[in-house]
DNA sequence: CGCTGTATTGACAACGTTCAACGGTTGTGG
DNA sequence: CCACAACCGTTGAACGTTGTCAATACAGCG
């Protein structure tokens, strides 16, 4: 099966590649559809492939020994994911699950060196990406150490709005099905607390809730909460 | 100034290098003594050097806009640190401060490519290190999301015991000056809570406290707490 | 039409923070 | 050498945010 290069050509990741190289790359790729709720790979599995998200939305989960779950991060269209081997790991450190129906490209991990060689800027981009992830993780640790729950939830909602927002009439819709439980797992709290916070926000006109839905009506207000709306100087 | 290769020869990082290459590397390095409490570099500074800790102990800090501090990680002898440039960053994401009197080697960041070239296994090791850090960060996020304070403190103490422990008579001494505040900043709590927990442990015979001191008497007991001493099956 | 998963809300408990006071140790300067 | 300040640590008490438990409601789906 041949994958048309137009589906990836506009991604910044491949912008600098010539068509021949790109075609060669795509020839070794497999496209796959992932229905909502299905896992692309599971935590602890042998890392035999790495992936690119073309369409849809994934969440990367980790499960603790006692069964609790956290969402490590969301994967957005255009993102590479599951490149554990690039970090010298044999297995996937988390589970990648489709939050919405998704389409991915898969390559065998053996091809990673080749992949990098035919697109040297990829090595740099990958390093940058990892660096960003590390920084994000530290930001999250800092927030969980020092900030109260409402502010953390505000931060997550603000980020989701900018990374997965879709303008819709009077506000911005989070463009994939998301539950209170999801938000709780992203912020390190319980769905109860999230529900209370969102209810409070709704009565203030900041957001509009709904079953697996979230519409942000006042992004500015949310961002104010996220950046410490209390003490300003 | 010439640095004798015997000071680094036994480090796993340089084990595979031949003496000539090693000498060349050391020729471009500067050795420096850092007194306790002094910073090697500060958060936000331009990343002009990368470093190796020869002796002593460093803590890497981040400060929030509102002045709160967290300890991102400890740096132990033999660790590379401050290689922001390898992650395509221009500035240091945190501050590296000497927790005890320390000795470091410094290289200009421009030499990083050369560094890697003359020691290819370094590229791999570095990737591994970064991967580990990312994983550690996620572990910490997971713990802060799901575990109570005492367990997190137990985990930190257990880790410190294995990475910076020194046998001393009836127990294991944490080998650098550490305050309750430090432990609080590593676990995302307050020095008060840490003090209470350590007092409780002391009365159970698990540890022995002291001013900027910590002696672990029953590592097993601590580890039991860290791994959920409550619910076992 | 009943079942399952999601969401809301109240009551309550608790863990941990905040506020406060105090004691001990270390280091400094007169 | 002593007095004093600065820092570190301990402990008590009160408060509050947030988690836990529980009951109910609602939507989607077979």
CA distance B60 to B95: 5
Fold agreement between B5-144 and B148-226: yes
**Element containing residue A22 per DSSP (H, E):** helix A19-27
Domain covering A148-226: architecture: Sandwich (2.60)
CA B44 from centre of chain: 19
Of B139, B129, B116, B134, the residue nearest A130 (C-alpha):
B134
Q: How far is B94 from chain A (nearest CA, A)?
A: 10
Q: Is B138 on the interface with A (CB under 8 A)?
A: yes
Q: How far is A1 from chain B (nearest CA, A)?
A: 34
Q: What's the CA–C1' distance between A206 and D28, in Å? A: 27
Q: With a cut of 70, say whether residue A98 has pLDDT above it.
A: yes
Give residue-wise pLDDT tens across range A153-208. Answer: 999 999 999 999 999 988 999 999 999 999 999 999 999 999 999 999 999 999 99
B73: β partners: B60
CB of A57 nearer than 7 A to strand C: no
The DSSP result for A153-191, as a single string, is HHHHHHHHHHHHEEEETTEEEESS---HHHHHHHHTS-H
Q: Is B200 on the interface with A (CB under 8 A)?
A: no
Share the mean pLDDT of chain B. Answer: 91
Q: What's the CA–C1' distance between B107 and D16, in Å? A: 50
Is the C-alpha dihedral spanning B107, B108, B114, B116 positive or negative? positive
- In the CATH hierarchy, which top-level class contains the domain A5-144? mainly beta
CA distance A208 to A203: 9
Q: How far is B205 from chain A (nearest CA, A)?
A: 28
Name the residue ranges covered by the structural domains of chain B: 5-144, 148-226
Q: Give φ, ψ of A111 to 5 degrees.
A: -80, -5
**What is the pLDDT at residue A1?**
64
Give residue-wise pLDDT tens across range B22-76. Answer: 888 899 999 999 999 999 999 999 999 999 999 999 999 999 888 889 999 999 9
List chain A residues with CB under 8 Å of B87. Answer: 127-128, 130-131, 134
CB of B129 nearer than 7 A to strand C: no
Strand D bases, protein C-beta under 7 A: 8-13, 17-22, 27-28
Q: Which residues contact B24 (CB under 8 A, 6 or more apart)?
A: B118
Inter-chain contact A131–B88, Cβ cutoff 8 Å? yes
Q: Is A233 on the interface with B (CB under 8 A)?
A: no
Q: With a cut of 80, say whether residue A229 has pLDDT above it.
A: no
């Amino acid at each position: 099966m041949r994958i048309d290069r137009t589906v990836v050509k506009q991604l910044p990741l491949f912008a600098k590649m010539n068509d021949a190289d790109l075609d060669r790359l795509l020839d070794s790729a497999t496209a796959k559809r992932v229905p909502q709720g299905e896992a692309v790979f599971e935590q602890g599995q042998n890392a035999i492939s790495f992936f690119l998200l073309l369409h849809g939305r994934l969440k990367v989960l980790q499960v603790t020994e006692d069964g609790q779950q956290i969402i490590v991060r969301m994967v957005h269209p255009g993102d590479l994911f599951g490149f554990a081997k690039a970090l010298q790991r044999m297995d996937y450190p988390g589970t990648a699950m489709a939050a919405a129906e998704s389409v991915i490209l898969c390559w065998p991990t053996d091809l990673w060196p080749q992949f990098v060689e035919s697109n040297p800027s990829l090595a740099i981009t990958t390093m940058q990406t990892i660096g960003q992830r590390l920084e994000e993780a530290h930001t999250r640790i800092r927030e969980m150490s020092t900030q109260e729950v409402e502010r953390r939830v505000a931060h997550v909602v603000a980020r989701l709005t900018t990374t997965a927002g879709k303008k819709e009439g009077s506000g911005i819709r989070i463009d994939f099905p998301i539950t209170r439980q999801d938000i709780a797992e992203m912020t390190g709290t319980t769905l109860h607390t999230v529900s209370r916070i969102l209810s409070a926000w709704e009565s203030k006109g900041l957001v509009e809730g709904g079953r697996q839905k979230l519409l942000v009506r006042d992004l500015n207000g949310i961002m104010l909460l996220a950046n410490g709306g209390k003490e300003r100087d």
